[in-house]
Amino acid sequence: MIELLKIEDLDQVLSIEESSFAKPWNRQYFINEINNNEISELYVYKEDNQVVAYGELWFMFENCDLTKLAVKESERRRGYGSRMLRYLINVAKEKGCEFMHLEVDVNNEKALRLYQKNGFETLRTRKSYYENGDDAYDMMKGLIGIESRKILAIESSCDETACAIIDEDLTVYSSVVTSQIDVHARFGGVIPEVASRMHVEQISTIVKAAVDQARINIDEVAAIAYTIGPGLIGSLHVGGIAAKALSFFYNKPLIGVHHLKGHIFINELIKPLSYPLMALVVSGGHTELVYIENDQSFKIIGTTLDDAIGEAYDKVARVMHEAYPGGPVIDRLAKEGKPHYQLPTPKVDGLNFSFSGLKNAVLQLVKKEEAAGNTINKNDLAYAFQEVALNSLIRKTRMALEQYPCRNLVIAGGVAANSRLREKMQENFSDMDLILPPLKYCTDNALMIACAAVHYLKHDKFVGMDASSMPSMSIED
């Protein structure tokens, strides 16, 4: 979340400042900028209350100077600098500035790339601008006539009610999610009617929170997006009606987003995707290898013939009398486990998957051990299941890449949060441009729907007010 810098943020900001600059600003300087400098505005980017980046603007009539932009050392290369910069550009635009200027050390390649990527051009070189004798580039970006279109997106396909607002440059204005997982955990799975009821209860509060946090008017939005499928029909309905209501009353085009495209495109918040792209989509409802030639062409080249991998995790957790959802539980138990039990490797031709045989093998093994009066070592069983299940993902992904060479590989969906899968992906595909989504992007949210909607908007791909929700829609549609 990006907000105005407050005095209480200063300790964290100063520690970043001191480790980032040869001539850091001191506390007094910052306080003066906050309290006394009428043309300056300082912003901080916070993750879980930790400052990860900050920046300052000076407003001078039609011109705006970017006087500071810093990212915490341990958080660099994660896109925070980019998002902070885009946010500051938007602040300047909203204040009516026509230009943005900055100086950057000619040797600071990463910063230069960031500014160039965001449309800054070098005006001239300032010789020996810095105390160490380094030259600086004077860079400028025009702010007129570049209106980034904003999208409001709603997600309600399963048990999360969410709303987010971003613009087509992927500046995040807000993202609000409420999960029903605590309720459904009591029953070992999502109860569709309960989920629908909770969506209706939450929907208006969530939309309002997202709009308020973004500090925008819905009138400023260029389009309303929602998850049109796949998912639970009753859940999809609520988000669909909410999105259509906004679209109808505010007269905005409507975008019906495929949920899994959201899981794929949210990776663009980390870094741009390059095509052709291979996506391993793994969740409670899906296990798919998707070959993506460009942002409009999706081809399922492998899929599960029975259970989705997340479903298998849930069922195995149930067999072991562990809680729902099973993914995190088994992941945790397996960390303490060792090779002990033998489970059969699923045998499926081609690029497809199967997990129901593996799940049954776990059930049989538990029954056999119990009949023999042995206590099951849950850690070892979790380890055995997880290794076999994940190895089949890795093996098929490798086969897929042999048949469909790609530059980029992403994993997407809830199971992308699995720590062992992430390890294995890194071990096995270190030679590729691999994107692992941050954990917070693995669970359902509306930001992902908004990220995908940017592509629909770019291609003018809208749906009508009479569009039906599609509970079992394919990503190829």
Binding site for other proteins (CB under 8 A): 186-187, 191, 193-194, 196-197, 200-201, 203-205, 207-208, 211, 218, 234, 237-238, 240-242, 244-246, 248-251, 465-469
Q: Which is nearer to other proteins, 94 or 193 (CB)?
A: 193
Q: Kindly state the smallest distance separating residue 7's Cβ from other proteins, in Å.
A: 34
The distance of closest approach from Cβ of residue 190 to other proteins in the complex, given in angstroms and rounded to an integer, is 11
Q: Which is nearer to other proteins, 190 or 451 (CB)?
A: 190
Least separation, in Å, of the C-beta of 470 and other proteins? 12
183 or 348: whose CB is closer to other proteins? 183
Q: How far is the CB of 260 from other proteins (least distance, A)?
A: 22
For residue 252, give both structure tokens: 């905005």
Give the residue with the Cβ less far from other proteins, 418 or 469: 469
Q: How far is the CB of 471 from other proteins (least distance, A)?
A: 13
We find the least distance from the C-beta atom of residue 216 to other proteins, in angstroms, to be 12
Minimum CB distance to other proteins smaller for 186 or for 368: 186
| 443/454 Cα distance (integer angstroms) | 20
Six token digits for residue 418 = 């699995």
CB of 349 to other proteins, least distance (A): 40
* Six token digits for residue 297: 């062409």
- Shortest distance, position 152 Cβ to other proteins, whole Å: 10
Closer residue to other proteins in complex, CB, 250/462: 250
* Residues sharing a CB contact under 8 Å with residue 93, sequence separation 6 or more, in sequence order: 143, 146
If the CB atoms of residues 51 and 207 are measured against other proteins, the closer one turns out to be 207
Our CB check for other proteins shows the closer of 162 and 365 to be 162
Residue number, 240 or 327, with CB nearest to other proteins: 240
Compare residues 191 and 401 and give the one whose CB is closer to other proteins: 191
Instruction: For the beta carbon of residue 354, count every other beta carbon within 10 angstroms.
Output: 17
Taking the complex as a whole, the smallest distance from the CB of residue 208 to other proteins amounts, in Å, to 5
63 φ, ψ (degrees, to nearest 5): -105, 150
CA–centroid distance for 427 within its chain: 22
- Rounded CA separation 361/355 (Å): 10
Please state the closest distance from residue 243 (CB atom) to other proteins, in A: 9
CA angle 447/453/459 to nearest 5° reads 160
Q: In this complex, which beta carbon is closest to other proteins, that of residue 21 or of residue 248?
A: 248
CB 194 → other proteins: shortest distance, Å?
Answer: 5
Task: Please report how close the Cβ of residue 175 comes to other proteins at its closest, in angstroms.
Answer: 18
Closer residue to other proteins in complex, CB, 174/469: 469
Phi, psi dihedrals of residue 430, rounded to the nearest 5°: -65, -20
